[in-house]
Amino acid sequence: MTVLDPSQLLSIPKKGPVVAIDGPAGTGKSSATKRLCERLGFTHVDTGALYRSVAYLLLKERGALGTGWEAFAEADMPLVQARAKEIAETVELEFRREPKKNPANRIWANGKDITPYIRTPEVSICSSRVSAIPSVRQALLALQRTMGGQGRTILEGRDIGTVIFPDADVKFFLTASIEERAKRRLYELEGAGADAPSYEEVKRQIADRDRGDMTRAVAPLRKAEDALELDTSTFTLDEVVDWMEKKVREKLGLVK
């Protein structure tokens, strides 16, 4: 895997239109991106799944899938971070679309479909910690830019419009109340067949994730100055996607 400094990212060409969707967890980014891709015929690049994959592989090899990041002692952090870097630099990650499966957009690591395992609360928290490790982010930057740079792509994450694609053709920043985000997260976990924690526990996890994402030293979560912002708390998914589709078509001159 090619490792680039963030300043070199723009050297990877953008071959067609790119849409960036950023925002904190639980704001509807993934659902909106999938629906928007279907309507526009664009490819979905789930950058968060890349970090979740590294987090999952790290927890799995350490036997910590049930306990998560809390299983790592403070004294072990240098070794844990070094191993996360090694995984990010050597793992072979790819997206595959399998229409007969749910979700249809699958993430494969080293030739194995790990999609069912990367959405647990433990992996979510670990993903936030892993994504704050500079060497891990650097290892995955070029991959994200290359995947998205093929054009007619929609990327979702937390630093797409600010770091990965500051030159994106259209940028969105989605928000929602923490109460609404907790409800959505519980629904997602239950739908995936995962052991769902309590509502209050999910709210705490989301607050912890927000704190980590917004205060990390490397590429913290923030809205790009030219991003279109929408609070999705009181809107249905279709209403959100209708609005986004209208903005994209206007900006790119796409006929419906």
* Any domain includes 253: no
Q: What is the DSSP string of 98-139?
A: -TTSSSSEEEEETTEE-GGGS-SHHHHHHHHHHHT-HHHHHH
Question: Which CATH number does the domain housing residue 30 bear?
Answer: 3.40.50.300
> What is the C-alpha separation between 154 and 39, in angstroms, rounded?
12
CB atoms within 10 A of CB 76: 12
Mean pLDDT of the residues in the chain: 91
Mean pLDDT of 175-199: 85
Buried b (16+ CB within 10 A) or exposed e, 216-245: beebebebbeebbebebeebeeeebbebbb
Asked if residue 256 belongs to a domain, the reply is no
1 found inside a domain = no
Please give the Cα distance from 244 to 233 (Å, whole number).
15
Can you tell me the mean pLDDT for 129-142? 90
| Parent domain of 154 | 6-246
Asked, for residue 71, whether it belongs to a domain, the answer is yes
Tell me whether residue 254 is in a domain.
no
Q: Is residue 252 part of a domain?
A: no
- Domain count for the chain, please give it: 1
Query: Of 58, 77, 54, 78, nearest to 68 (Cα)?
Result: 58
- pTM of the full predicted structure? 0.76
* Higher-confidence position of 122 and 5: 122
